[in-house]
Chains A and B, each alone.
Chain A
Amino acid sequence: MNLEELTITKAHQGLKKKQFSALELCKAYLDKIEEGKEVHAFLTVNESLALSQAKKIDDLIAVGSEMPVLAGLPCAVKDNILVENVRCTAGSKILGNYIAPYSATVVEKLKSQGAVILGKTNMDEFAMGSSTENSGFGATRNPHDLTRVPGGSSGGSAAAVATGECLYALGSDTGGSVRQPASFCGVVGLKPTYGAVSRYGLIAFASSLDQIGPITKTVEDAKIVFEAISGKDELDSTSVSPKIGIQKLKNVRIGVPKEYFVKGMDKEIEKMIRAAIKKYTDKGAKVIEVSLPHTEYALPAYYIINPSEASANLARYDGIKYGFSKKEKSLIDVYLQSRGQGFGAEVRRRIMLGTYALSSGYYEAYYLRAQKVRTKIKEDFDKAFSKVDVIVTPTSPTTAFKIGEKTSDPLTMYLSDIYTVSINLAGLPAISLPCGRIGKLPVGMQIIGKAFQENIIFKVAQLYED
């Protein structure tokens, strides 16, 4: 049996039937990480901690304890999610020596099931980027083609799942950072509804957009991990317990937004998404054209709101409380030099952009206007969802691009998130799942649902997988 190719359900059954031990499973994945050095998915590997966690599960299995589904299963966590006593850098030199003093709620939830945390995965610095090239610790490579990017910012997590270096991983998604790398690496990635998963212990980037989500091999696995990490948390006032019960799905109605199928999309990708939609029609789904008229304004609105929130959140890195601190004579120079030298170029660019948008005299023209456009984008979705159950689009306008291809012009890099950012602005759930390949490069299809209807998304996604 090839232990690195298992899904969560199969690995769980294998442990229960004693086909292999949790320790064997853990060792197989640690070996795989060692083999995959070229891909550079991990920033920190927690060998001794992982092995001891696995051993504990084996002891429990030996005495016949009931095992939760994630018990003993090796996973990876994006390096902006805290795991107590483990280094947590957010891909930034400014947190190069930061040891997490506590665990994020999602990590506590996984630990309570007995999950084995192998390590922390690479990412764009503070999750700002779409290629994982902005990491302060070197880029991650796409496992399907080492000359290409894995997407980002959760590129390490997606690459780790794609290479079989972990059974599943956690990522975070602010404007597509789970879905786009999942698409580039040929795996499944879910961005949950805003508020469905606690953000406590997630290093804050843009707080009204951030959500933690699973990256997995199958839709079923994504559902299992989502159910494990979601729910209201006292420590995150924006987390909620959804009031929606079990949702039934009959003769699914699929919306296809006409504004998404315009210039800029790779012709081959369009063909593949159209073929996927045809597959749904063949299975009895009703396909309806919908309109999201403010689509073209989503990206510019996002690039006001995101840097504005980021500039406020990242004010905490001051060289005083934690993180990199430059020794200087005066307090102001400690601030200027610690931040100037500790942050990379993209982070400084966004902090400056946000500071500008929020500064006196510009607030109304930029930030307030963007928030009003955000309302328009939300209303577009509300209207479309009065006619359909889900909306299907490509996840990204291209397949994985070459390393270095988009690093010289920040705006070109921003455009790779064109199909994903509006979902974060509207706070909706969306999944990316593989729907074919162009050459050796995977293509992802995005399925967007109504708020807190992740279950419907899973059902529609599984309908495609079957």
Chain B
Amino acid sequence: MISKKEVQHIAKLARLSLKLSEEKKFQKELSSILDYIEKLKKVNISKTEPTTHPLKIENIMRQDKGQKRKNKKLLDLAPETQKGHIKVKSILK
């Protein structure tokens, strides 16, 4: 069983606000899923390599040049813009 404090910590790491009632609910649900996942400990993996992708992925290179794309369309999707830039809250006081 994970603790309420752990739930709060994970929510903070994931940048998710939680209501008090939700903390309890997620605590219960996440614990039961994690209990189920414990099963994996029964597999002998001492000599096994991890698989990140089903295929062997190869790097693909291109010229490091800027591309003019659909800037206006993309900017139009942002909640706040100013002079062709996305506006963000100040982070320095």
Interface residues of A (CB under 8 A from B): 98-99, 101-102, 194-195, 208, 234, 237-238, 240, 294, 296-297, 300-301, 303-304, 311, 315, 318-323, 325, 328-332, 334-337, 339-341, 343, 348-349, 351-353, 355-356, 359, 366, 368-376, 378, 409-411, 414, 425-428, 451
Contact = CB atoms under 8 A, between A and B. Distances in A.
A325 B86 CA distance: 13
Contacts of A294: 43
Contact of B14 (A194, A321, A351): A351
A378 B53 CA distance: 11
Contact of B30 (A240, A352, A373, A428): A352
B51 A371 contact: yes
B66 interface: no
A128 to B, nearest CB: 13
B84 interface: no
A49 B60 CA distance: 36
24 contacts: A99-B77, A102-B70, A194-B53, A240-B55, A294-B43, A297-B42, A303-B33, A320-B79, A321-B77, A321-B78, A323-B77, A325-B80, A328-B89, A336-B16, A340-B17, A340-B18, A343-B16, A352-B7, A369-B40, A369-B41, A369-B45, A375-B49, A375-B50, A427-B53
Which of B17, B18, B39 has the most A CB atoms < 10 Å from its CB? Answer: B17
A359 B32 CA distance: 19
B74 interface: yes
Chain A at the B interface: mostly helix, strand, loop or mixed? helix
A374 B16 contact: no
B40 A373 contact: yes
A300 B50 contact: no
A300 B70 contact: no
A98 B73 CA distance: 11
Contacts, number: 158
A352 B16 contact: yes
A300 B60 CA distance: 33
Nearest to B53: A208
A355 B10 contact: yes
Nearest to B72: A101
B88 interface: yes
Nearest to B89: A331
Contact of A318 (B15, B29, B91): B15
A42 to B, nearest CB: 23
Nearest to B38: A300
Interface residues of B, number: 51
Interface of B: 2, 6-7, 10-11, 13-18, 26, 29-30, 32-34, 36-43, 45, 48-55, 57-60, 70, 73-74, 76-80, 86, 88-91
Nearest to A358: B13
Contacts of A352: 7, 10-11, 14, 16, 26, 30
Contacts of B77: 98-99, 101, 321-323
A351 B40 contact: no
Nearest to B15: A335
Nearest to B74: A101
Nearest to A95: B77
Contact of B88 (A320, A343, A370): A320
B16 A340 contact: yes
Contacts of A335: 15
Contacts of A323: 77
Contacts of A240: 55
A356 B86 contact: no
Contact of A366 (B6, B7, B36, B37): B37
Contacts of A325: 79-80
A329 B89 CA distance: 8
A373 to B, nearest CB: 5
Given A353-B30, A359-B13, A374-B50, 9 more contacts: A303-B33, A319-B79, A331-B90, A339-B16, A341-B17, A349-B29, A373-B48, A410-B29, A426-B54
A376 to B, nearest CB: 6
A296 B7 contact: no
Nearest to B50: A371
A304 B53 contact: no
Which of A369, A378, A428 has the most B CB atoms < 10 Å from its CB? Answer: A369
A409 B30 CA distance: 11
A404 B60 CA distance: 46
A207 to B, nearest CB: 9
B6 to A, nearest CB: 8
Contacts of B49: 372, 375
A217 to B, nearest CB: 29
B36 A351 contact: no
A297 B53 CA distance: 18
Which of A323, A352, A372, A427 has the most B CB atoms < 10 Å from its CB? Answer: A352
